[in-house]
Each structure stands twice: as structure tokens, then as C-alpha cells.
Amino acid sequence: MSTSRGTSRGAWSLAGVVAGYAGLATSYCVASLATTHGSPVVAVADLVIRETPGSAAERAIQVFKHHDKTALVIGILVLLTVLFAVAGALARRGWAGPTVVFGGLTVVGVLAVASRRGESLVEYVALLIGLLTWFGCLALLTGPLREPATAAEPAVGTGAPPPAHSRRAFLVRAGVVAVAAVAVGAAGRAVGAGRRQVEQARRLLRLPGVTKPQVPDGVAVDVAGMPPWATPSDAFYRIDTAIVVPALEPDGWRLRIHGLVDREVEITYQDLVDRQRTEAWVTICCVSNEVGGDLIGNAWWSGVRVAELLREVGVQDGADAVLQTSSDGWTCGTPLSVLTDDRDAMLAIAMNGDPLPIEHGFPVRTIVPGLYGYVSACKWVVDLEVTRFSDISAYWTERGWSELGPVKMSSRIDVPRDGGDVAASGGRVAGVAWAQHTGIAGVEVSVDEGDWQAADLARVPSDDTWVQWAATLDVDPGDHTLRVRATDTTGLVQTGEPHDVVPDGATGWHTIRFRATG
């Protein structure tokens, strides 16, 4: 096999890749003209997330952390690159092969768009234009490659290299198409200004009755290296299924409350802003948080109590759940009882004294103390259906997670980190403990699996927040282990039995290794 023949085959594959990305660029640009959902690649990624079994999704979160969605998109693009190259290589023998590849990808795109909430005709038109771009660019790019190698022998399907002038023509066309694809993609990004418009609207919002947080005195222990008791908004953990974060204008936001109610209502953003406000420090936690993990944060939330809204619509007998739905179609089932008791379950409009960040649910999200987010914390919420658990299913419960999701008592060592150093005499260790809407009564630490030693607790403003703890150690120099456990206000001691996060949260005592020095 000659080098020229190998180069020729490579050119066909390159033609497929360039044509493929040109099609992606045009479909993305068209979709950006009228939607904020993003490209067809994002639609496919959304579909993958929705159809991924819970155990696989949990493994992805553990491996990639907050980069899980980025890894998914990159994986899809790598697969597309391979398929585009295959389509180009198959084009040497005719149009049947590329038709199967491009047609199959378009069908997948159509299914992905059809499965998402709020799809529009523009998204289907974008897919069609992308398909036409694929075929048009592939024909343009492969034209020079199909020219005869000699006057007597056609190059098509033979593997013979095209003449030099044809190769030059191919490279010129490939360069032009590639530059055009980049320009079209950039134009799509420019016209897809929905998020920027929403961010501008968010910055201009003035929310009367929303106060800036004042961190209470005495809530933090005086130990170097401890994270802040109040989590900054830009450092707050984020776990959701959105590949592209929904960009919702406050003026266009509506919340429908319906189902087993006496009066169905639709609430606007201004209606919500005009209502009496509730504000509270609330710690929320993800069910995917492993023992000692950081998928937890404490913030000052401002909003309207859900209980008041449900009282106004009149909940009917027999209802025991509220199915919450996000603008991107994500759902969670929340026990009606926790939305109507004395806790500050709210439709939050502000976080740490400012309008919600877009990534954390702007313009409105739900906050429910004492429940894991997968059954309560609906970002970009647009629908509350009062219903029965027996009549509904929700995103994570369909994937094997438990139905109710109360937060399990837990504790964590923050100082020192695993493998860190502590002074042998008078060394200070510290961390946090939480049992939202129940409260922490005590924390104990144990060195080398010895006796439990009581730690000092900082002050807490309510049972809905975590508490910082600290303890002083006197140990021999050398390597040691440290473990921690908590006791809640009912007298329940945190279990040391290790349990995975599936199906209702991890359990076990956080244990680290440290070196005592001096």
C-alpha cells in the first residue's frame, strides 16, 4: 500500500469530520436564534442524563464530581468525530454509507429534542439544516477527491490518489469550510444571548424585603483552616441534570399550582416578590454526598413559604405529595407534610442577600430544610402539582432512589485534612456536623479507635443549619487515625455502619489519618 493511497483515505475521513462539524455549527446557530436550550449535542447529552440508570449516574458524579456533564459532552463529541470520519471514509464508495450515518445521527437528535420539555419547531428545523449541511459540505469537499487519477482510470472507489491539483483543491475547500464553520458557530454563540440577557435582568433586580446576611456571633470555631460557616454563593456546590442552565426571564416566569386543590392558580414573579418574605439560614445537602464529602453548603435564603401558598389554594383530602417540575423537565416528589409544617420550606428568590444565581435556580427555586435535594430542591421551578405518591414518579426515584429522602445525621473532619499534621500536645482538630431540622446536641472524636472524647460546639441559630465543632488532642508523636460522630437533639447517636449513598444517603463515621508532630 503506497503512502499516497493512505493519504487519500485520510483525506476522505477528514472530509467527513469537517463536514460533520460544519453541520453541528449550522444547527447550533439556527437553534440559538430562538431558543436557549443550546445545540443538538446538548439535547443528546440531556437525553443521556435522563435515561442513565441511577447507579451509573452516581458513579459518574463520584468520578467526575462537578465536571460530570463536561465529561459527557466531550465524550459525545469524541464519538461524533469518529462517526463523521467513518461517514467520510464510506463516501469513497457512494452515498449509501454517509446517508446511514448522518441519517442515524439526525434521528437521535430528533428523539433527544422531542424528549425534552419546552422544545420548539426551531430545534427540528435546526436539525434539518444541520443534515443538509452535512450532505452539502461532504459533496463539496469530496468533489476534488473523486476526480480521476489518470485520464483512463476513475479514482472513485479505487483507492487511487487524486492528482496534485485535486488535492490542493480539497485542502482549500476544507480550510474554507472549517473557517466558515467556526464563524457560524461563533455567530450562534453571539445570537444565543438569552443567558446574558437574563443575567443582566438579574443584576438589575431590586428585591424589597430581602436583607443582606449577617453571620451570627459565635457560629465559627477559632481553628485555622476551617471553611466558613456561611458558604459563599460562588463556592456553593452544584448538582443538577442541566447541560445548559435554563435562562428564564423574571417577567416571563410563571408557577402553576394545581392538582388536588380547591383553586388552581398561576403565580408571576412579581406576585411572589410582593408577598410577605421569610428568610433563614438553611443548610442543604445532596444525597450523593459521601461520608466526609463536600456536597453540602449553608446559605441565607429569602423567599415565600410554600405552606402559605398551599393554604390559599386549599389542599384536598388524600393528598400526601407535591410533584415539583423544573423548566428543563426535571421532577421531584416532596412529602406534603414537610411543605406545610413549621419549617421554612420556601420558594426562594434570593441567596445570600442577592437574587439567585442562574446556576442555583434563578429566578425561583425550592428550599426545604431536612430533606436531600433530590426530593426537594427544585431549581428553575415552574410547576407544583399537589398529588399522591402512589400516582407519581420522579426523576431520581425512577432510578432506584428512595421516595422520602430525609437528611441523615452526619459529621465531618475538616482540620486536619487526611494525611495532615497536628501538634502532638494541644493540637486542635475541627469540623462540622449536621442533622437538619432536628439539630445537633453533641459531637465526639476518637483517636486510634480509643475512647470517645466530647468536642466543643459552636453556636447555631437554628436546627436547620450545620454546626462547627472543635476538640483538643494530646497524643504521642507519630501516625494516628481520627474519627468523629454526632448525637442529635433526640439522643440518637450517629451510626458507624458504612452505607453507600444509594438509595437514601451515606452513613458511617468520617475517619482520617494524621501525623502528630512536636
pLDDT tens per residue across span 201-250: 898 899 998 999 999 999 999 999 999 999 999 999 988 887 677 889 99
- Mean pLDDT, rounded, for 460-487: 96
pLDDT tens for residues 38-50? 667 777 777 777 7
- Mean pLDDT, rounded, for 71-76: 84
Output 72 or 165, whichever has higher pLDDT: 72
pLDDT tens for residues 371-396? 999 999 999 999 999 999 999 999 99
- Mean pLDDT, rounded, for 359-371: 96
b/e string for 434-468 if b means 16 or more Cβ within 10 A?
bbbbbbbbbbbbbbeeeeeeebebbebebbbbbbb
Cα distance between residue 75 and residue 81, in whole Å = 10
Measure the CA angle with vertex 137, ends 148 and 151; round to 5°. 5
pLDDT at residue number 146? 81
Among 85-94, 359-368, 381-390, which stretch is predicted with the lowest mean pLDDT? 85-94
pLDDT at residue number 151? 42
Output 434 or 125, whichever has higher pLDDT: 434
Among 46-55, 287-296, 431-440, which stretch is predicted with the lowest mean pLDDT? 46-55
Please report which confidence band the pLDDT of residue 6 belongs to, taking 50, 70 and 90 as the band edges. very low
List, as own/partner pairs, every contact residues 2-9 make where C-beta atoms lie below 8 angstroms and the sequence separation is at least 24, other chains included: 2/161, 4/161, 5/159, 5/160, 5/161, 7/161, 8/145, 8/155, 8/159, 8/160, 8/161, 8/162, 9/89, 9/92, 9/159
**CA distance to 43, 125, 130, 221, 326, per residue, from 109 (Å):** 7, 11, 10, 53, 22
Cα distance between residue 346 and residue 367, in whole Å = 5
Among 20-24, 80-84, 116-120, which stretch is predicted with the lowest mean pLDDT? 116-120
Asked if pLDDT for residue 313 goes beyond 60, the answer is yes
pLDDT at residue number 119? 59
Q: Report percent pLDDT > 70 for the chain.
A: 91
Secondary structure element (H or E) that encloses residue 267, with its range = strand 265-268
Nearest of 337, 313, 312 to residue 389 by alpha carbon: 337
Asked if pLDDT for residue 154 goes beyond 60, the answer is no
Average pLDDT, the chain: 89
Cα distance between residue 26 and residue 181, in whole Å = 7
pLDDT at residue number 516? 96
Domains contained in the chain, CATH given: 3-192 (no CATH), 233-399 (3.90.420.10), 410-517 (2.60.40.650)
Strand order, beta sheet including 265-268: 265-268, 254-259, 381-387, 321-326, 331-335
End-to-end CA distance of the chain: 71
Compute CA 242 distance to the chain's CA centroid, rounded to the nearest angstrom: 5
- Mean pLDDT, rounded, for 358-363: 94
Asked if pLDDT for residue 462 goes beyond 90, the answer is yes
pLDDT at residue number 5? 40
Cα distance between residue 281 and residue 279, in whole Å = 7
pLDDT tens for residues 270-304? 999 999 999 999 999 999 999 999 999 999 999 99
pLDDT at residue number 161? 57
pLDDT at residue number 36? 52
The amino acid present at 281, given as its one-letter code, is W
